[in-house]
Structure 1
Amino acid sequence: MQIEVGRELLAQWAALAGRDAEQVGVDLVRRYSESHRRYHTVDQLAAMLAVIDDLAAEADDPDAVRFAAFFHDAIYAVDRADNEERSAELAEASLESLGIPTEIAREVGRLVRLTTSHDPNPDDRNGSVLCDADLAVLADDEQAYAAYTAAVRAEYHHVPDELFRLGRAAVLQGLAQQPHLFRTPTARARYEAPARANLAAELATLATETS
């Protein structure tokens, strides 16, 4: 299944970056297929790109947002806090090596860095689309959301249960306290209510497990 998804991603990359960029696309798919990943995989990238397609009209530069999606978790290690910065630097260097204009490469780097906080400015249309696509998983149905949380836990299998629950709860509480999880009108109408319901349910479960 992942092989098929990888092929589809390579086709999307070629349409976006051109056939001469094939090796960069191959490297990106390889990165998202690393054995330590359980959630931050080719499947997650494909899902993000599908949401970006749905929200494309709400971005100023949809292709810059797509580039940012391809690179946003290109470097992912659970024991490091600088994954977004390193991924942004990889994006900027890779795109400039392909002849992509510097201003676009820098915009892609900015967008990748934004996924650290998921807190774009109100007038940041590109950032809003990227962050909404990255958080859309929060609005999945019960079965898919359970698969998502299990995959996240599997990536952090080395962390003791109690520490994981505390860390996960802190992340979810930070999201739940935001006035809006989603920034674009389309995503807010579609995802806000189910995402908040999922967050509340998971937080309740974590509290029960901790007590």
Structure 2
Amino acid sequence: MGVHDAPAWLVPAFTRNVLEAGGTAPAEDIRRTADDLLERWTRPDRHFHNLRHLVDVLARVDELDEEAHHPELVRLAAWFHGAVFDSADRKAYANRGGEDEAASAVLAREQLMALGVPERHAQRVADLVSALVRHSPDPTDIDCAVLCDADLAMLATEPQRYKAYLNDVRAEYSHLPVEDYVRARVRILHKLLARPSLFVSPLAQAWEEPARQNVSAELQRLEKELAKLEAAAAAEPSASGSADADA
């Protein structure tokens, strides 16, 4: 899905949200910023964290927006939350994924203020983006909860779509050796399941059970795969030793 494949409503929606947040820039400047963001979301190294993911997050925000105090700021944060992306090894091994929330937050503040959005609103969007580093929002901060829940909602999709999501995530980190990727993914899944609740906002509670079922099934499969990989690695030295002895 490239920039030209973007749904027709995306740029007008971004423009409306910027204006609702207090932006004063001409419509042309707002559209130019939207186009820049779309170009970021459609770069070829993005297999999951791409335009489809942005649209999905915005759609989930729509499902939860009656709970939000400032839904326009939540939607702007959704636009910026993965704007800066890099699936390089150092980020993957840090278990942060490719989304650079810190850099994306800085970009959000700079670009929104350049569009005339008041500093307090631009900073609030940046803070919402930064909160996605931990995905553990304060339950009293409902806007943050809505954004975090919308971003994690893919965990609760039907099994076939969840499988497609896993294939896309693996494609983003295809440069990682299988065992390294599986180990990192297992750690992430254990952390998710250790949470008292994956979702915080009241309307998102319906996603809790299907998400846990998907995550648990994936963890079970990956732990079996990891055991096989470890067994194969342990067998290699002895096999090599036998070959040397035979020689």
The bucket for the TM-score relative to the shorter chain is over 0.9
CA-based RMSD of the aligned residues comes to 1.3
Which segment drifts farther, 112-121 or 6-15?
Answer: 6-15
Partner residue of 1:95? 112
Q: Which of the pair has more CA radius of gyration?
A: 2
The letter for the 1-side match of 2:83 is A
The one of 217, 224, 229 equivalent to 1:208 is 224
* Structure 1 runs of 4+ with >4 Å offset: none
**Aligned-pair CA distance for 1:15:** 2.3
Partner of 2:163: 146
| TM-score relative to the length of structure 1 | 0.96
Select which of 124, 140, 144 maps to 1:127: 144
Tell me the CA shift for residue 86 of structure 1.
Answer: 0.2
Task: Check if 1:36 corresponds to 2:45.
Answer: yes
- Give unpaired runs (5+ residues) of structure 2: 20-26, 228-247
Match of 1:158 among 175, 193, 200: 175
Counterpart secondary structure, 1:57: coil
Structure 1 residue 17 displacement after superposition: 2.1
Contact 1:140 1:195 in 2 (8 A): yes
Amino acid at match of 1:11: P
Equivalent residues of 1:88, 1:112 under 8 A apart: yes
- How much has 1:163 moved relative to structure 2? 0.3
Correspondence 1:174-185 to 2 at 5 A: 174-185=191-202
2 CA distance for matches of 1:119 and 1:100? 27
* Percent identity (aligned): 38
Inter-partner Cα distance in structure 2 for 1:107 and 1:71: 12
What is the identity, as a one-letter code, of the residue corresponding to 1:75? Answer: V
Contact 2:61 2:150 in 1 (8 A): yes
What residue identity is the alignment partner of 2:16?
Answer: A
Q: Distance in 1 between matches of 2:182 and 2:117?
A: 42
Corresponding pairs, count: 210
Alignment TM-score, normalising by the size of structure 2: 0.82
Q: Displacement of 1:85 after TM fit?
A: 0.3
Residue 17 of structure 1 is matched in structure 2 by 18
Residue aligning to 1:50: 59
